[in-house]
Amino acid sequence: MFRILCVASFAFAGLLVTSAASAQELSDGYRRLIADAATYDDGANFDEIVVMVARNAAGGADAVMDAVRSVAPDRTEQAAALLGQVAPVARTPNVPAPQTLAMEPDDTITAADAAPAAAPAAPAAAPAHTSNHDWTGRVSAGLTLASGNSDQQTWNLGLQLDRNFGNGWSLASRLNYAYGESAGVVSQDQLQVEARGEREIGDRWGVFLGGQYDRDVLSSYDWTAFVSAGATRHVIKREHMHWTLRAGPGVRYLVPATGGGEETQVVLDLGSDFEWQINDNSTFHSETTVLAAESAKVEQSFRYTTSVAQNWAVEFEWRYRHEFDPLPGFEEGDSRVTASLVREF
């Protein structure tokens, strides 16, 4: 009789332990964090979130896996490999067959019957993950030659460098240079350098600090530059589409081509950055900058990039710049269309 009571006690204790374990579920905040991370192309971001939640949330890796199966089932195998768990398979509930305890001598119940069920093996420790914070970018070059009735040469060079510093800050920078001659006369000579740092302070909001330098020997100004800082808003944040708006005050510097010294104006920097990955090989990018000031300026660019080989692509770009207050003898707007070969790294 005493051994029968022991068996019943062990069974009751196992039931309590199982119920307590099953009660460990992630909070709604953690589940939303995992669901949001799963929408990004970057698998590293999802890995970091899964590891962080598994280390800090009640329930650990098991609770995280349950949440992934619920809110991001397509990421189940990725999370299981990261946390050292086996991907889920269909299970058949294990319902023990009913047994009749007969009042027999004590030796009918063995020591094996009274031993408690073996505790499940603890999940393997999540592997340490190191994000890739190296520089990424690309180089582009284009050349056009014409002879006969017209004698014209134009070429353009481009460089783009980006980096995610891992502390919330990211940097995007770009350099473009275009030069052209027509019948031996310079028809285009423009250099533009821009850089912008951004730090996210929430799922949709962030702050930025950036600037631009523009030298064009054939425009109203020998060179112009501005610096600005403000807030960003991620209007669309999907796997294949991103749209970010920005706004903030700044200062613009202008040096007129006719001389007269440097001018300084307070500006309001308004911008839009839209990127759409049409398919695995093609991307469309639109960038708009509006400087609202006494001498206002608008810049617009559209870029279409298509891959032709691994890390190689062809890019077509249309750029337009409009100065609302040009100096006498200069046009308000000018545009440029380029075709370039791009090498990504």
Separation of alpha carbons 298 and 214, rounded Å:
13
What CATH number corresponds to the domain at position 176?
2.40.160.40
> Do both 151 and 264 map to the same domain?
yes
Q: With pLDDT > 70 as the criterion, what percentage of the chain qualifies?
A: 77
* Predicted local confidence at residue 62, as pLDDT: 85
- Domain of residue 58: give its range: 2-114
> Do both 220 and 252 map to the same domain?
yes
> Do both 91 and 207 map to the same domain?
no
In a domain, 132, yes or no: no
In a domain, 122, yes or no: no
pLDDT averaged over every residue in the chain:
81
In a domain, 59, yes or no: yes
* Predicted local confidence at residue 107, as pLDDT: 46
> Do both 109 and 145 map to the same domain?
no
Q: Which of 75, 68, 54 is nearest to 129 (CA)?
A: 54
Write out pLDDT tens, residues 45-100: 788 888 888 888 877 888 888 888 888 888 888 888 888 754 444 444 454 555 44
Separation of alpha carbons 329 and 18, rounded Å:
84
In a domain, 119, yes or no: no
> Do both 176 and 301 map to the same domain?
yes
* Residue 252 falls in which region: left (phi positive, over 0), alpha (psi -120 to 50) or beta: beta
* Predicted local confidence at residue 117, as pLDDT: 45
Neighbouring residues of 97: CB distance < 8 A, sequence distance ≥ 6: none
Write out pLDDT tens, residues 121-173: 444 444 443 345 689 999 999 987 777 766 788 999 999 999 999 888 999 99
Q: What is the average per-residue pLDDT within 318-332?
A: 91
Separation of alpha carbons 289 and 316, rounded Å:
19
The most distant pair of C-alpha atoms in the chain lies apart, rounded to whole Å, by 115
In a domain, 123, yes or no: no
Residue that is last in its domain, among 57, 83, 114: 114
Separation of alpha carbons 223 and 233, rounded Å:
30
Q: What is the average per-residue pLDDT within 229-238?
A: 96
> Do both 77 and 194 map to the same domain?
no
> Do both 181 and 82 map to the same domain?
no
Write out pLDDT tens, residues 196-206: 999 999 889 99
Q: Which residues pair with 282 in a beta bridge?
A: 306
Q: With pLDDT > 90 as the criterion, what percentage of the chain qualifies?
A: 49
* Predicted local confidence at residue 56, as pLDDT: 83
> Do both 93 and 164 map to the same domain?
no
Residue that is last in its domain, among 114, 148, 176: 114
In a domain, 280, yes or no: yes
> Do both 100 and 144 map to the same domain?
no
> Do both 142 and 109 map to the same domain?
no
Q: What is the DSSP letter of 330?
A: S
Separation of alpha carbons 339 and 121, rounded Å:
60
Write out pLDDT tens, residues 159-179: 999 999 988 899 999 999 999
Neighbouring residues of 173: CB distance < 8 A, sequence distance ≥ 6: 160, 161, 162, 193, 194, 195, 196
Residue that is last in its domain, among 114, 146, 173: 114
Q: Which two tokens stand for residue 288?
A: 């708009």
In a domain, 130, yes or no: no
Lowest-confidence pick of 18-32, 250-264, 309-323: 18-32
* Residue reference for tokens 């353009």: 156
In a domain, 128, yes or no: no
> Do both 27 and 153 map to the same domain?
no
Write out pLDDT tens, residues 267-297: 999 999 999 999 999 999 999 999 999 999 9
> Do both 163 and 68 map to the same domain?
no
Count of structural domains within the chain: 2
